[in-house]
């Protein structure tokens, strides 16, 4: 259960980082 929550958190964090570092259009496509 903890592993699943950690995995979801990491994926969400990665998506946020991608959206911040790249232009919004490219970030949304990558995420």
State pLDDT tens for residues 1-31.
788 888 899 999 888 887 777 665 555 565 5
Of the chain, the end-to-end C-alpha distance in Å amounts to 24
Answer for the pair 18, 28: CB distance below 8 angstroms, yes or no. Answer: no
DSSP assignment string, 1-31: -HHHHHHHHHHHHHHHHHHHHS-HHHHHHH-
Please state the pTM of the whole predicted model. 0.48
φ, ψ of residue 23 to 5 degrees: the values are -55, 150
């Amino acid at each position: 259960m903890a592993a699943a929550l950690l995995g979801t958190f990491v994926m969400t964090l990665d998506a946020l980082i991608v959206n911040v570092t790249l232009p919004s259009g490219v970030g949304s496509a990558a995420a």
